[in-house]
Amino acid sequence: MKSDSYWLVVINPHSGNGRGAVVGTRVTNFLSLKGIRFKMLAASSAVELAHQLRHEVTNSEFAGVIAVGGDGLAHLVMQVCVPHRLPLAVVPAGTGNDFVRSLGWNLEKIEDFLSQVISTEPTPIDLGNVDSEWFGAILSTGFDSVVNERANSLSWPKGPQRYNLAIALELPKFKAIEYEIICDGKRLLTEAMLVAVGNGKSYGGGMNICPQAQMHDGLFDVVILEPVSKIEFLRVFPKVYSGSHITHPRIRTMRAAKVSINAAAVAYADGERVGSAPISAECIKDAGLTWML
């Protein structure tokens, strides 16, 4: 990437409980010191930001977009960048940052990441598309989506602790869900506590739910947790951070380019609400352009 390229910098100052503003300043200071031309974009709402972004991308020439925020901002910007084949660099400043984790970057060494962005060409990566919506890391449904629904309804506490509280509130009453899952034409009927469709490895702030997922093989990794007791769930749950949960006898794994899910359940992608099943997703090879470690 040429050092004199012109960049669009999109900052969510509220992400990560205000971390977005701090990291955003680091990004703009870095670009200024390097003599990199850029234009900042900010808005009071996600809807307004998406509108402004589409306008800028449609009517201006940019080397790429640098998004400073969490997975929510990355998800929003992705919807605009992918159709225009525009490189997207995500600078982690949210609470989860799982798209960046899946790309392999250190969450703190932001200047090292930016040095790569301004000096090297982006890499094509696979992206998921669920009912015409792009996602980078994980599409999920089941217990984790129930927890997301509850966490989004809570005004306190802030940050990751809100997710932990939602787990404590929802687990005692959660029951396994009946699923119809079709992977590349093969139909599976099963009860499950959660179903994760991974283009990337992690969600929920570093939970490696799909530890073997690759972002350049044209395939999803599908991880299904079949019914276990609440005590067993709590015993296995911590292993998701290392990815060692994958060896549990009640974990079923598959790989597929196309996955359809039908159940009385809600789905989330990159932490954003997709909606109620049925849903259909496809792994689109080399759909995105970004920087991987």
Beta bridge partner(s), residue 259: 183, 281
Question: How far apart (Å, rounded) are the C-alpha atoms in residues 129 and 235?
Answer: 33
The answer for residues whose C-beta is within 8 angstroms of residue 199's C-beta and 6 or more apart is: 102, 126, 127, 128, 135, 136, 137, 138, 139, 213, 215, 220, 283
CATH 2.60.200.40 domain extents, the chain: 135-290
- Is the CB of residue 190 less than 8 Å from the CB of residue 226? yes
pLDDT digits 0-9 by tens, 66-104: 999 999 999 999 999 999 999 999 999 998 899 999 999
Q: Assess whether pLDDT exceeds 80 at residue 158.
A: no
Strands 194-198 and 138-142: antiparallel
The pLDDT value recorded for residue 3 is 44
CATH 3.40.50.10330 domain extents, the chain: 6-121
Q: Assess whether pLDDT exceeds 80 at residue 159.
A: no
pTM: 0.93
Strands 220-225 and 194-198: antiparallel
The pLDDT value recorded for residue 60 is 83
Angle at CA 148, nearest 5°, toward 277 and 185?
Answer: 30
Of the candidate CATH numbers 1.10.579.10, 3.40.50.2300, 2.60.200.40, 2.60.40.10, the domain formed by 135-290 belongs to 2.60.200.40
The interaxial angle of helices 15-33 and 71-81, nearest 10 deg, is 60
Task: Give the mean model confidence (pLDDT) for residues 243-261.
Answer: 97
The CATH superfamily holding the domain 6-121 is Probable inorganic polyphosphate/atp-NAD kinase; domain 1 (3.40.50.10330)
